[in-house]
Amino acid sequence: MTAEQQNGEEQRRNRELSGYRNMLSRVLNALERVEHRTAEALEKALEAAKEKAVELGELTREEADRIGEYVRRDLRDLAHYLQREESDLAGWLRVDLGLIEAEILDFFSKAVDTSRIELAQWQQGPLPVIYRTGEITPPGTLRCLSCGEELHFSRPAHIPPCPKCHGTEFVRVYDEEREDETTQGSGQD
């Protein structure tokens, strides 16, 4: 890959990460303004956020659709997790909250408040949620389905292949599921 291609790839990845943050922010802000926070309201907010990202030139249509799926996946996964007794944001993120960028922590804190209202409608889709290399993940810990290696993210990032086995599929690890404190992954993007 030439230096120009690498620069273009880095710009695309940064644009996607920025698009993820912006889309998440728009969805959560829209949900704060509606009286009934239903699955339908979430879908409308997500569609509006995707349209806005394309309209402003932040993302292409294809990128907006893909990143919209990541936002939907993450909010549904969070909503499902929060239905567990005494579950909280810290358990879902599984990182020291002090290490997370204030803006991202605020987004997901709003999501907790929003998603507690009508959780049953939001938890559509298969579980466990599978995260794949190249997708964007929010802060937290992912475990490789091939070898069990854990990757730790303190901010939204593109998911790399597993550093241990080069696996490409992961599941989110929650506090109560943590089995091995000794493995460390990369949270850098």
Task: Tell me the domain boundaries of the chain.
Answer: 3-177
Please give the Cα distance from 33 to 47 (Å, whole number): 16
Q: What is the pLDDT of residue 164?
A: 97
pLDDT tens-digit profile of 102-125? 555 555 555 555 544 454 455 555
SS3 label, residue 34: coil
Residue 103's contacts (CB-CB under 8 Å, 6 or more residues apart) are 21, 25
Helix axes 3-32, 61-82, angle to 10 degrees: 50
The answer on pLDDT for 178 being more than 90 is: no
Alpha helix (H) ranges present in 3-149? 3-32, 39-55, 61-82, 89-93, 102-115, 119-122
Q: How many CA atoms lie within 13 A of 185 on its CB side?
A: 30
Q: Exposed (0-12), middle (13-18) or buried (19+): which is 36, by Cβ within 10 Å?
A: exposed
Q: What is the pTM of this model?
A: 0.72
The answer on pLDDT for 162 being more than 70 is: yes
Band (pLDDT 50/70/90 cuts) for residue 15 is: very high
Q: Exposed (0-12), middle (13-18) or buried (19+): which is 120, by Cβ within 10 Å?
A: exposed
* pLDDT above 70 as % of the chain: 65
Q: What is the pLDDT of residue 108?
A: 55
Contact 117, 104 (CB under 8 A): no
